[in-house]
Amino acid sequence: MGVDAPATVGTLLRDVDTPALLVDLDVFESNLKRMATDVSALSIDLRPHAKTHKSADIAKAQIESGAVGVCCQKVSEAEALVEAGISDILITNEVVGTRKIDRLAALSKRAKIVACVDNVANVEALENAAGYSGQTLDLLVEVNVGSSRCGVDPKTAVALAQRISESPHLRFSGLQAYHGSAQHVREFAERREAIASASAVVSDVVNQLQIAGIQCQRVTGAGTGTWQFEATSGVYTELQAGSYIFMDADYARNRHEPIEQPGNFGHSLFVYATVMSTPEPGRVVVDAGLKSMAFDAGMPLVVDDLATQYERPSDEHGNLILSKASMAYELGDKLKLIPGHCDPTVNLHDWYVCVRGDVVEAIWPVTCRGALF
Amino acid sequence: MGVDAPATVGTLLRDVDTPALLVDLDVFESNLKRMATDVSALSIDLRPHAKTHKSADIAKAQIESGAVGVCCQKVSEAEALVEAGISDILITNEVVGTRKIDRLAALSKRAKIVACVDNVANVEALENAAGYSGQTLDLLVEVNVGSSRCGVDPKTAVALAQRISESPHLRFSGLQAYHGSAQHVREFAERREAIASASAVVSDVVNQLQIAGIQCQRVTGAGTGTWQFEATSGVYTELQAGSYIFMDADYARNRHEPIEQPGNFGHSLFVYATVMSTPEPGRVVVDAGLKSMAFDAGMPLVVDDLATQYERPSDEHGNLILSKASMAYELGDKLKLIPGHCDPTVNLHDWYVCVRGDVVEAIWPVTCRGALF
C-alpha cells in the first residue's frame, strides 16, 4: 500500500505529475525564519502545531530554528513523529477510550508527552492507566475561552486541576486555552478583542489556581490568525501557531493593520494541477478536486490569475472559469492552486514535492499520513 | 509511512479505535448481491466504479459476482489495482501529460486497459506513446451528455472517433457517456428525464458513427442514482455505478417511486466515532471531523438518532446537538455516522474495518490510498 511520489529530486516543475502537493522552499524558509525571529524577540515559547503539516522533516526544521517542540492533535500523529525522532510533543486534545489511553501511556515512556483533559471521568481513566504502567502523565486542563468546542467552563477549571494534582500518577502542567474560532475573524481589531477576552478568562483562572495553592507554569494556545495578541498578553507562555508555515486562501482573507504586522506570511503550499480538458471557450477542467484539496474554507485560488474562478469541484475534477487574461490555457498546461484550507489539504496527500525555482529539490513524506486516531 | 489499522480481526466493535471506516458486511453483501441479481436479469454489463472504494478486495468481490471488470478514475488507481490482481479496467477519464500517458502505455502491457479522450491533441499524444511502446491502445470518446464537465460536444464526437480509427496504434472502442449531475437530482421523474435526454444524445451519435462506417460496440456510463434508466435505454451497453455498494447520506436523499425500485440499497459504510467531550447539556463533541469524513454533500447522519444534528466540523472534531432521545450520550460512547458522500470519505482512510454484528471479521486495506494522479 502507498504510492510513489509524483516526482523525484531534480525533476523540473513542469514534469511533476499532478495533482501534487507543492512546497515553495524559498517562501517556506522565509516563513520559518520570520516566525522564529519574531518570537525570539518575545519572552514566549513557540511550539508549532504539526496537525498542519504532519511532517517529521518540517517539525525538525521548526525545532532546529528555535521551537521548543511541536503540537499534535491525535495520539497516532504523535506516535508517527516520535518514531521519526521528535522527542517533545503536546497533544492539544483530549485522549478518550481505553485503547487510546494505553497508547498514550506507552508513548510517554518513549518521549516527553503532554495531553489535555476536560472531564473528571477521563482524569480517573488516565490515572488508572498511568498507575498500571508505573509512570506519571503530564496533563493540561483545557479551558473554553470562547470557541465552545471542547474545554471546561472556566469556573470549573480549578476543581479539575485539583483533581489532577491529587492523583498520584498525574501531574498538572497548566492550561490549554486555544481560541479556534477567533483565527479567521476577518477584522484585525475583532481578533484582538477576542484574544483580549480569552486572556482575561485565562488570567482569572490562573489567579484562582494560585489562591488554591496550585502553580500554573504553562498557558498554551494561539494560532496563525491571532498569535501576536497571545504573545503580548502577559498570560500565555507558549504559542501553537501552525498554518504560518504554509498559509492558505482563508488566512489570506484576514485583514491586517495598515502598518505591516509580523504575522504577514507568504503562501508556500500549493496544489499543482493539469488542464486535462478544454471543453468550451472560457472554461477548462483541471485534474484536482475533492480528493486532492479541502473545500471547507472555500474554493482554491489560481496563482497566475486571481480573476479566474475555480468552480464545481467533483472528486477528481474542477472547472476553471477563465478571466480574459488567462484565455490562453491549453491542454496539458500546469498551474498552482492555493487551497482554501491547508491542514485538511495536506491530510489528502502522501508526499510533499519541494521546489526551489523550477526544480524539485526534495521529496518529503507526509509522516502522519492516515494518522487519524 | 502508513499507520496500523484501528482494529484487528476478532476485535469487538466497541473496542475499535476511532475514527474508523466501518463496513457492515451483511448490508455490503446484500448490496453486492442485489445489484448482481438485478443486472443479470438485463442484457447489459456491470463494471462498477472503483473510485468509490479504492479496494482490491471489493473489486474482486464485484467481479466474482458477475461484473466484467471495474472502472478507475486515475492511472495510479489502475496501477494499484493491476498490482493487486485486477486485469480489466476502464479509466473513465482523460489521461493528459507525458508522464501519465507513459504510465498508461506501460500498464496496458500488463492488463486490459481502456481510457477516454475528448481532445485531438491528446489523441495525437496517445498515438505517439502507443507507437513508441509498440502496442495498440483502446480509447473511448467521452461525450458531454448534459453534465458539462469533460467530454466533447456530441456534434464533434464522430470526427474524434474517426481520428482515433485512422491512428495506427489506437483503437476506437466506443463512447463514455456519464451524466454525473443527474445522479443526485432528487425527483425520480427528473432523473428519468435526464437520462432519457442523455440516451437520445448518445443514440444520435451512434447513428452518425454508423453512417460514417464506424462501429460503436460499447456505450458506457450510469451511476447509482440513475442506472435503472441507462440499463433499459436500449443504448447503453455497460453500467458504471459504484456507490450502491456503500450508499451515503446524499444518495439517501434521492426520492424513489412508491413501487419498490431495484435501486434501493442499504447503508453499509460508516465512520465510527467516539464522544470525546461532553462540555454542556445538549452538546457533545465527537472525534471525527474534516480529516476523516467528506462534507461536500452535507453533514453526516447519526445512525442511532437521526434527530441529532452533527454541526460545526473542524479538522478533528464535530459537535453533536442532541435530540431529547439521545441525551444519554456519555464520555467514551461510540457511534456510527453515515457520511454525506462516500467516495471522498473513503479517500481519507487507510483501512476498512469490516464488521459482522458486533465483531470485526476482516480488515481490508484501501488499496489505492493516495493514488491521486
Enter the C-alpha cell of residue A167: 492523583
Spell out which residues of chain B touch residue A2, defining contact as CB-CB under 8 Å: 1-2, 369-370
pLDDT of residue B19: 98
Cβ distance A1 to B350 less than 8 Å, yes or no, reads yes
Give backbone dihedrals phi and psi of A362, rounded to 5 degrees, phi first: -155, 155
As a whole number, mean pLDDT of residues B227-231 equals: 95
Spell out which residues of chain B touch residue A91, defining contact as CB-CB under 8 Å: none
Checking if the pLDDT of B87 tops 60, the result is yes
Cβ distance B97 to A347 less than 8 Å, yes or no, reads no
Q: Read off the pLDDT band of B260 (50, 70, 90).
A: very low
For A252-287, give the DSSP string.
HTS---SSPPTT-PPP-EEEEEEEEEEEETTEEEES
Q: Is A221 helix (H, G, I), strand (E, B) or coil?
A: strand
For B94-147, give the DSSP string.
E--SHHHHHHHHHHHTTSEEEEEE--HHHHHHHHHHHHHTT--EEEEEEB-SSS
Does the CB of B94 have a partner CB in chain A at under 8 Å?
A: yes
Give backbone dihedrals phi and psi of B252, rounded to 5 degrees, phi first: -65, -20
* Structure ipTM over 0.90, yes or no: yes
Chain mean pLDDT for chain B: 95
The shortest C-alpha distance from A296 to chain B (Å) reads: 8
Cβ distance A344 to B18 less than 8 Å, yes or no, reads no
Checking if the pLDDT of B304 tops 90, the result is no
d(Cα A126, Cα A141) in Å, to the nearest integer?
A: 13
CATH topology of domain A42-247: TIM Barrel (3.20.20)
Cβ distance B349 to A370 less than 8 Å, yes or no, reads yes
Q: Chain A window 221-250: which residues touch B at a Cβ cutoff of 8 Å?
A: none
Q: Which residue of B has its CA nearest to A56?
A: B1
| Sequence-distant (≥ 6) Cβ neighbours of residue B331 within 8 angstroms | A96, A119, A121, A122, B275, B276, B277, B278
The residue ranges of chain A whose pLDDT is under 50 are 258-260
pLDDT of residue A251: 84
Q: To probe the interface with B, which of A287, A317, A342 has the most B CB atoms within 10 Å?
A: A287
d(Cα B140, Cα B160) in Å, to the nearest integer?
A: 10
Spell out which residues of chain A touch residue B148, defining contact as CB-CB under 8 Å: 279-280
Q: Rg of the Cα trace of chain B?
A: 22
Checking if the pLDDT of B263 tops 60, the result is no
Closest Cα to residue A347, out of A31, A21, A2? A21
pLDDT of residue A153: 97
Does the CB of B370 have a partner CB in chain A at under 8 Å?
A: yes
**Number of CB pairs, chain A paired with chain B, less than 8 A apart:** 200
Does the CB of B349 have a partner CB in chain A at under 8 Å?
A: yes
pTM: 0.96
Enter the C-alpha cell of residue A119: 472531564
Q: Chain A window 62-91: which residues touch B at a Cβ cutoff of 8 Å?
A: 73-74, 76, 80
Cβ distance B149 to A371 less than 8 Å, yes or no, reads no
Q: Chain A window 14-43: which residues touch B at a Cβ cutoff of 8 Å?
A: 15, 17-20
Does the CB of A315 have a partner CB in chain B at under 8 Å?
A: yes
Spell out which residues of chain A touch residue B366, defining contact as CB-CB under 8 Å: 1
Q: To probe the interface with A, which of B3, B95, B349 has the most A CB atoms within 10 Å?
A: B3
d(Cα B277, Cα B358) in Å, to the nearest integer?
A: 24
**Residue in A94, A341, A348 closest to B276 by CB:** A94
Spell out which residues of chain A touch residue B121, defining contact as CB-CB under 8 Å: 331-332
Residues A135-189 have pLDDT tens digits of: 999 999 999 999 999 999 999 999 999 999 999 999 999 999 999 999 989 898 9
Does the CB of B282 have a partner CB in chain A at under 8 Å?
A: no
Residues B117-172 have pLDDT tens digits of: 999 999 999 999 999 999 999 999 999 999 999 999 999 999 999 999 999 999 99
**Residue in B151, B292, B371 closest to A3 by CB:** B371
Sign, Cα dihedral of A66, A71, A75, A76: negative
Enter the C-alpha cell of residue A327: 484565455
pLDDT of residue B1: 53
**Residue in B3, B121, B314 closest to A149 by CB:** B314
d(Cα B226, Cα B184) in Å, to the nearest integer?
A: 9
As a whole number, mean pLDDT of residues B205-229 equals: 96
Cβ distance B121 to A15 less than 8 Å, yes or no, reads no
Does the CB of A348 have a partner CB in chain B at under 8 Å?
A: yes
Cβ distance A370 to B296 less than 8 Å, yes or no, reads no
Domain parsing of chain A, residue ranges? 13-20+265-365, 42-247
pLDDT of residue A306: 87
Spell out which residues of chain A touch residue B316, defining contact as CB-CB under 8 Å: 51, 73-74, 93, 372
The shortest C-alpha distance from B258 to chain A (Å) reads: 31
Spell out which residues of chain A touch residue B274, defining contact as CB-CB under 8 Å: 96-97
CATH topology of domain A13-20+265-365: Lyase, Ornithine Decarboxylase; Chain A, domain 1 (2.40.37)
Enter the C-alpha cell of residue B157: 464526437
Cβ distance A6 to B373 less than 8 Å, yes or no, reads yes
Overall size of chain A counted in residues: 373
Q: Chain B window 152-211: which residues touch A at a Cβ cutoff of 8 Å?
A: 152-153, 180
- What residues pair up with B310 in beta bridges, in sequence order? B320
pLDDT of residue B42: 92
Checking if the pLDDT of B59 tops 50, the result is yes
Cβ distance B348 to A348 less than 8 Å, yes or no, reads yes
